[in-house]
Amino acid sequence: MDEDQSAEETTFVVEEITTVIKETVESTIGNNSYQHSKINQWTSNIVELSLSQLTKLGKPFKYIVTCIILQKNGAGLHTASSCFWDNSTDGSCTVRWENKTIYCIVSVFGLAI
């Protein structure tokens, strides 16, 4: 029984994390329009809240959370990531969120301890 529990806990569950991140972004930005003065605060909030929610999951993981907030102006954006890790235990997920004036991309990488 202990082994089953540890097996469940030591894998990176994408759905759970996606839900957590979406809620965080909604609660921070919601329907606000892009404001240059508040961007700093928004990104910090998103990232800190996400990280605290992730630690509340209680899994033996190290997390890296990256947040990109982009104003909708017709410009293009690409993001790519490459990782050197243990495929069986580590994983990542990316959440894309948008409203009328803002694009928000949050990436979470989880590395098993």
Partner 1 sequence: MANQPLPLSQETLAQFNRSMATEPGVSGPPRRRLGSISTRRSSKDQSKDQPHHRPLFLRGMTVISSESSFLSPNVSHSHISMGKRFSFAGWHQGGRVSFSGLYLQQPIQEVYVENTYRMGPEPGCHFSPSRTQQILQATLDSYLDGVCYSPDSCSQLCQMLADLVLSKLKDVNPPRYKLVCQVVVGQSGKQGIRVASRSLMNPNTDNYTSAVFQNHSLFAVALVHDQ
> Do 104 and 25 contact (CB within 8 A), yes or no?
yes
Smallest distance from partner 1 to CB 99, Å: 15
Smallest distance from partner 1 to CB 90, Å: 7
Dist. CA 29–CA 27, nearest whole Å: 6
Cβ-in-10-Å burial (0-12, 13-18, 19+) of 78 comes to exposed
Q: In terms of CB distance, is 1 or 79 closer to partner 1? A: 79
- Point out which residues bind partner 1 (CB under 8 A): 34, 36, 39-40, 42-44, 46-48, 50-51, 54-55, 61-86, 90, 92, 107, 109, 111
